[in-house]
Every structure is written in C-alpha cells, then in structure tokens.
Amino acid sequence: MSTPELLARMEKAPEFDLLRITGMAERRVADDTAGTPEDCRTMALSAARACLGRSRYAAEQIDVVISCSISRTTDGRRHQFEPSFARRIAGELGAHSAIHFDVSNACAGMMTGVHLLDRMIRTGEVRNGLVLSGEHITPIAFTAAREMADSRDPQFASLSVGDSAVAVIVDRAADDADVIHDIELMTCSEYSHLCLGMPSDDTGDLAMYTDNKEMHAEDRLSLWPAFHRDRLADDGRRFADEGYDFVIQHQVGSRFIDFMNRVGENIFGTPMPESLSVVEKFANTATTSHYLVLHQALVERRIPRGSKILMVPAASGVVTGFLSATVSSLEV
C-alpha cells in the first residue's frame, strides 16, 4: 500500500507530508481477505519454513524456538497469548522436541530473542535455535487514518508501520567468519508511558498512542551511544576501533535514522559506518526491522563477505542497546 493510498483513508486531506517526514513511500499489508487470512502466526510460520529451507537443519534438529511478535494475531484478527505462538509454530514446523517460549519487548523483541538464544548457546544449554516474528500491525495505521486529525495527534506514528515476518537460525560459531561479537540491551522503564498499544479511546479498534516529542528528545536518543560507549570502555575498547562496516538503526523513519547517526557521531566522536535502511519500501515493521534490512541488503548484494554489521534497537520502554556480528555465509 502506498502512502497516498493510506492517507486517502483519512476523512479530510492531511495537512502534513507523510512521505517527506518519514521517507516511507509504501508498506506491505497482510492479506486478510483470502480463505486463510494472513496474520502474525501464518506470516511467522512462512518465514520460519523459508529460513529452515535455506539452512542445514531440519525442523526436528532445532533445539529451541523463540517467538517475538508484538501483535500476536492468529485465525485472522484474534489475539492469542496462550498457548504461546512458539509452541504452536514449533508444532506446525515439526520441531517437537524444541524448547519453546515467547518474549515480549516491544520493537526490541527479535533483538531480545537473539540475545537469549546467544546466551543459551554460549552456556551450552542448547546447540542452536530459531528466532522468529510476524507483525500484523497495519490495523493501527487504519485506526489512525480513521480517527486522527493532524500531525500532532498521538496516533501519528501509527501511520508509519507495515506488516512483515522474519526468522533467523543461530548456532555456535565455527570460526570468525560468522560470529556475534556483542549483544547487549538496556531498558529504561521510566519512559514506558511514551508509547502505548491498546484499544482506541474512540472506537475500541486496535490503536497506538505515542508521545513523539518526548520519545525522540535528544537525551532519549543519547541513551544508545552513551550505553554503547560505556560498555566498550569496560573492556578497554572504543567505537572507532571496532571496524563496523554498516549500521542498521531501527526503521522509524529516514529523519530519525539520520538523527540517530548524528547523535552517535557526536558522542562517539567518529564518523558512523554506512547506514542501511528499507523505510522507503517497507516502512517501520517493529520487531522485524533490523533483520528485514539485513535480508534485503544480502539479497541486493550490498554487504560484502566478512562485513561487520552493527544493529541498534530503539524500542518503546525505552529499550536500547547494540548487536554486532560478522557475516559471511548467511543464506537468503
């Protein structure tokens, strides 16, 4: 769906230029008109099957399945929390012996799932695992288009979302060619009120209310580089010496990404690596954003073998942190 098509759902012509503000020209929308409607579970299941098909593992060889979706719709528009998505998806994949559980950490969900799996592998708890997420979040965009009046409305950020699904398999690194170097997360819960998903105050439809001004204040955006700088310093390391080739920020919008990179440059005191993004074609896809960018960059052969990638989450809560990895043989 293009941005003009989404804005055409508003009752009156918008007084803002959403494409100029966000850089988002279009987004994908789950097909809920088919005989078997697409939802979080069906999209995540499809991503998991595609991921397994490109790996050396069969489903019965997977030790753990972690589902990280925020929206959790199944059977069309029904929201499901029990039994867990991970249990249902593991069963449908045939990963019957896998440990399975869901995590919920706003847009940092996939980062959290990979973080937990990385620690489970490093401690020898499991040999490998599948982390996945399906996000059916465009209903909040449609609610916003029906209810909001202008760009100052707390539902404005809801116009920036798109549907998607991703899945990744992580196992123990055999060499330095494919390895997760660092993954650390930090939650500042005092800001949890700045972005809330809930039934609409007006109609009861699915909605999201965001205080963009406070969420994107510079001291809030400084949380990542300050945290990252301090954690590296604990090990006697500096950002400039890490050799990152690419950075992937959360896909909130093109202006946000540029601003985050400038804030990082100011605090690290060094230029940022090349920034990768898919906001123009896919918009903000919540938990799946970073891995969708990585997938597209690999498909488009923009990442040479042996590149060191830096991912930076920016989730409601506020959750921030960093993941760095060298990638050489990822299959897409």
- Sequential pLDDT tens for the chain (332 residues): 999 999 999 988 888 999 999 999 999 999 978 778 899 999 999 999 999 999 999 999 999 999 999 999 998 788 898 899 999 999 999 999 999 999 999 999 999 999 999 999 999 999 999 999 999 999 999 999 999 988 899 999 999 999 999 999 999 998 999 999 999 999 999 999 999 999 998 899 999 999 999 988 988 999 999 999 999 999 999 999 999 999 999 999 999 999 999 999 999 999 999 999 999 999 999 999 999 999 999 999 999 999 999 999 999 989 999 999 999 987 77
Distance CA 250, CA 321 (A): 11
Measured CA to CA, the distance from residue 263 to residue 60 in angstroms comes to 45
Q: Specify burial of residue 168 (Cβ count, 10 A radius: 0-12, 13-18, 19+).
A: buried
Identify which of 47, 53, 50 has the alpha carbon closest to the alpha carbon of residue 67: 47
Measured distance CA(190)–CA(48) in Å, rounded: 35
Supply the pLDDT for residue 132: 98
What distance lies between CA 214 and its chain's CA centroid? 21
Of how many residues is the chain composed? 332
The confidence score (pLDDT) of residue 11 equals 85
User: Which pLDDT belongs to residue 326?
Assistant: 97
Predicted local distance difference test score (pLDDT) of residue 32: 78
Angle between helices 85-93 and 40-53 (to 10 degrees): 40
H helices of 104-246, in order, are 109-122, 138-147, 212-215, 218-221, 223-234
Quote the pLDDT of residue 61: 98
Task: Please name the residue that has the structure tokens 């939650």.
Answer: 187
What pLDDT sits at residue 10?
A: 92
What pLDDT does 7 receive?
Answer: 95
317/215 Cα distance (integer angstroms): 10
| Among candidate residues 177, 66, 181, 70, the one with its CA nearest the CA of residue 125 | 66
**Residue 328 CB partners (closer than 8 Å, separation 6+):** 177, 178, 305, 306
What's this model's pTM, rounded to 2 decimal places? 0.95
Spell out the residues 6+ positions from residue 27 whose beta carbon is closer than 8 angstroms to its own: 1, 6, 138, 141, 161, 162, 163, 282, 283, 285
Beta strand spans in 110-201 (E):
128-135, 164-171, 179-191, 195-199
